[in-house]
Amino acid sequence: MATGIATPGGRMRLYGDCIPCQVTVRFRDVMQVVEDEERRLELAGLVVRKVSELLEAGINDPPHLATELHRFVKRLLRVDDIYRKAKARECSAALSIYPGLQGFVESLGVDKQRVEAAIRIAVAGNALDLGVSGYSPPPPERIAEEALRKAVHGGLGEAAELLLKARRVAVIMDNCGEAVLDRVLGDVLRSLGKEVVAVVKGGAFQNDITIAEARRAGLYDSFDHVVSTGSDAASVFLDEVSNEVLSILRSADVIVAKGMANFEYLTEVEKRLAKPLIYLLVAKCRPIAKELGVPQGSYTVRVYSPDSRFL
């Protein structure tokens, strides 16, 4: 273990904060679809009852609670993708800034500089989140600016080194607009001769990118492969994802995990994956900031390594 930014592997359990946050975000789902105030109230009541039941059933980590609740709300609403329109808007906005960012990064002379700049953009893209109560995403044009200006906590340099040494990289994507900006990282790594795979969701989870949006977002232009988890879970739950995804995670030299839910989940299975993981995220809530040991709102790169030979 080389630095303070590498962790021995842990598990992100539920914080109390997750309860009001998840109730709030699930009610926001309801508000997207239902206009009638009586029906909204009824559904809000069903959501709190479901939260209570899931807690009593022993669910004790944020991504599993979020997954079950999001599925519950989709069933109640009989809607398979609540954020379809929001995702289309996000995707268009991100596509409008992608060429400028991509061109800027391409213009940098040194490989490590290019990888670091692409990582910064990937972190900043995680600000485009609709799944955190009390948090409003900035307009995408601010993302571009902040990507290169904002302080990044953690192991930016170490993450870049790991990626420069890797031959095969899997990027586990998060939100839809963010995924468009992750293309810059795909472009850079491929230009350096690496094989880069984008892992997207099979079904809708909040505003996360699914295989349905991958073409529109241009992922096929920036990654060697785009694969679906085959699931609508908040992250790549190993007991749920397709065999293709399992084999991609197994064969990757480094896994890049975008966003809070992937951080929350993958810390559960870091040891089983037994390879370097790079978490790129904005620490939007108190529990995540506390787990990462950074101030709330920080742009963060967290590197996990099972073995000092990787660092």
Which parts of this chain interact with its own copies (CB under 8 A)? 13-20, 23-24, 27, 30-31, 37, 40-45, 47-49, 51-52, 55-56, 133-134
C-alpha 208, offset from chain centre: 8
* 72/141 Cα distance (integer angstroms): 34
Residue whose tokens read 């089983």: 272
Longest Cα–Cα distance of the chain, Å, equals 60
If residue 118 lies in a helix (H) or strand (E), which one and from where to where? Answer: helix 111-125
CB 277, min distance to its own copies, A: 24
* 39/29 Cα distance (integer angstroms): 13
Closest CA to 127 of 138, 112, 117: 138
Report yes or no: 139 and 176 within 8 Å, Cβ to Cβ: no
Closest CA to 57 of 46, 69, 45: 69
210's tokens: 């699914």
Report yes or no: 180 and 98 within 8 Å, Cβ to Cβ: yes
**Helix, strand or coil, per DSSP, at residue 259:** helix
* 5/88 Cα distance (integer angstroms): 35
Type of residue numbered 58: G
Report yes or no: 5 and 158 within 8 Å, Cβ to Cβ: yes
Work out whether strand 299-304 and strand 277-282 pair parallel, antiparallel, or are unpaired.
Answer: antiparallel
